[in-house]
Structure 1
Amino acid sequence: MPAPHPVLSVVVPMFNEADVLPMLVARLRPVLDGLDEAYELLAVDDGSKDQTPVLLQAARRTWPQLRVLRLRANAGHQAAISAGLAAARGDWVVTLDADLQDPPEVIPGMLEAARAEQVDVVYGVRTDRSSDSAFKRRSAHAFYATMRMMGATGAPDNAGDYRLMSRATVDAVNALPEDHRVLRLVVPALGFPSTTVGYVRAERAAGSSKYPLATMVRLSVDSVTGFSSAPLRLATWFGLGGFVLAVALLVYALVAKLTGATVAGWTSTVVIVAAFGALQLLCLGVLGEYVGRIYATLQRRPTYYVAHDSLHDGSDRAGSPAQRT
């Protein structure tokens, strides 16, 4: 007898999560079994090099709703989530990290809120982030404030990648052709009806963070260049400001020459040249980021490849390019 169509899919991206995986299974399964709904847990193995694949296969022996989607190589957190969204079959889809900082016990509340308020998206909002470092809290606040200032997001404060989405939302996300997709900005940009559910963010249960500073910086750059043309306009304003300043300096130089008040000095010259050089390099860097995105889009290289999907009884989907992100 075939398994029933899942009402709920829970997508969990994993990369070297062997330390935390047993704890995740122990906490997540009772929550999902208690929903009294047909569900699937879609674990996206993002090219793990540790014992994560072995532990997932072992868990499948006693957990029939566990489905493993293995990528051929590490594609990154956002790409792994996109792979899960492209493969998920549920009428509702939850995205959840494996580190247990976002408690799975909130999932029933998300599903209840979505049905009661008839919305397409329920964001998990961190009402207490004391478990995060001060730097991470401040940098996250600055990031969202900057994105809102540029009109690039309508996401609630302190909302990450823990969310529940309707099938219509997931289909809309999967239909987007853009590369380097940042889902925490893509989903709010769709403008679908939404609500929030609060929770206390915990410390990572085990293992190490997969979001070091370099990855956070890269995500921020992708967010800015992917959702707003404000940096290009900023470069234009820098150019206009530099032109006005240059005209003012020219007028000053002419007046000084006519009045005989010229003063020779190389310091001011060096400062001015260095300042304009720095602005030009900054503007070129901004333009380079946008040109790089255009170049990557024109190449049409898939962001990830699915190596194996346990739904198909071990059949290998080698070379199957899933949705770009």
Structure 2
Amino acid sequence: MKKTLEIIIPIYNEIECLDELMTQLLALRPKVSENISFLFVNDGSVDGSGDVLNQYVGQHSLMKVIHLSRNFGHQFALTAGFDHSDGDYVGVIDADLQDPPEIMLEMLSLMKKESLDIVYAQRIERKGESVFKKCTAHLFYSMIRKFTKIDIPENTGDCRLINKKTLLAFKTLRERHRFIRGLIPWIGFKSKAFQFSRDERYAGQTKYPFFKMLELSMDAMFSFSRAPLKIANVIGFLSVLCGFVLAIYTLLAHFLWKVTVPGYTTIILVILILSGIQLLILGILGEYIGRIFEESKHRPLYIVDVIHDSTLSE
């Protein structure tokens, strides 16, 4: 019986890319011995992407479209795809064609050749990205590696290929604040990078502007590290230490040197600085407490509206 390579593609308002994406995906099928199936997750698109995907299901074999009830976000759409996957090999690509579909076949070849559990796509060139984007990405990965115990390789995204063993392990991870490119390395199975040059987006606009990337970065930091709490402790200790030093200096100046330290401006500055530090630490604590509150609700990670599954066979 043929093994199956299942490719998950999350979709959110990507109608401009769909025809070219479908052409490149279908071109993969004659090139390998495995059956290749496609699992699209429509994450609440409002540009007609869902209707186009439904047409594809009626025209092509081994294809499934999961329509979520609303836009839950990229990481939840990917989770829905993994949850509904049962392939022997499961890959992830985005619809913008920056990660070309043909690399899935090269990653599959590498996985089988070296008996790997995970192959992740690592960009050696990032075409069309600004210097600011490249610098912030480098800073992000540097901080993640420094402050967490998870080795997340630099210049990797969600594009990767996993085997069934990794898929089953991933399905057990149900936390709400999800950073999938950290969760899969956390599993710890045998992995290796596949290096490639990343293309520019085929069409449309990025769905990960700066503030969404910042939110994803916070999810990564708060989900995989207690470093913010440790930093808050250090800041609090240093604040107390500075307070003691200032108090000792004031007492010595008054009793030994008979000098009264002029202080209205100094007092105001100290109050403002300490108040800012307290608010910062409260914000860090609040972020962790808020995440605990979200997890305690036990709400589903996403809601499926309808599933269209091709009944045609190869």
- TM-score band, normalised by the shorter chain? over 0.9
Q: 2:273 maps to which residue? A: 275
Q: 1:67 to 1:6 in 2, by over 3 A?
A: farther
Once residues 153 and 100 of structure 1 are traced to their aligned partners in structure 2, the CA distance between those partners, rounded to angstroms, is 28
Per-residue deviation at 1:284? 0.6
Q: Percent identity?
A: 36
Normalised to the residue count of structure 2, the TM-score between the two structures is 0.95
Q: 1:292 maps to which residue? A: 290
CA offsets, 1:130-159, max 9 Å, x none?
Answer: 321111111111111001110242121101
Comparing 226-235 with 266-275, which one deviates more in the overlay?
Answer: 266-275
**Amino acid in the other structure paired with 1:15:** Y
Matched pairs, number: 310
Once residues 123 and 19 of structure 2 are traced to their aligned partners in structure 1, the CA distance between those partners, rounded to angstroms, is 24
Q: 2:210 aligns with which of 213, 221, 234?
A: 213
**Amino acid in the other structure paired with 2:33:** D
Per-residue deviation at 1:127? 0.5
Q: 1:24 aligns with which of 3, 21, 25?
A: 21
CA offsets, 1:76-131, max 9 Å, x none?
Answer: 00000000000011011001100001111111110011111111100100000132
Q: 1:243 maps to which residue? A: 240
Once residues 149 and 310 of structure 2 are traced to their aligned partners in structure 1, the CA distance between those partners, rounded to angstroms, is 39
**Amino acid in the other structure paired with 2:12:** F
Per-residue deviation at 1:62? 2.4
Provide the secondary structure at the position in 1 that maps to 2:59. Answer: coil
| Contact kept? 1:24, 1:100, Cα under 8 Å | yes
Per-residue deviation at 1:36? 2.5
Structure 1 unmatched ranges of 5 or more? 314-325
Normalised to the residue count of structure 1, the TM-score between the two structures is 0.92
| Contact kept? 2:63, 2:310, Cα under 8 Å | no
| Contact kept? 1:120, 1:194, Cα under 8 Å | yes
| Contact kept? 2:63, 2:309, Cα under 8 Å | no
**Residue 82 of structure 1 pairs with residue 79 of structure 2:** yes
Provide the secondary structure at the position in 2 that maps to 1:40. Answer: strand
Q: 1:67 to 1:312 in 2, by over 3 A?
A: closer
Ranges of 4+ aligned residues in structure 1 off by more than 4 Å: none
Once residues 89 and 2 of structure 2 are traced to their aligned partners in structure 1, the CA distance between those partners, rounded to angstroms, is 11
Structure 2 unmatched ranges of 5 or more? none
Q: 1:105 aligns with which of 102, 113, 130?
A: 102
CA offsets, 1:231-287, max 9 Å, x none?
Answer: 111111111111111111111010011111223232222221111111111111111
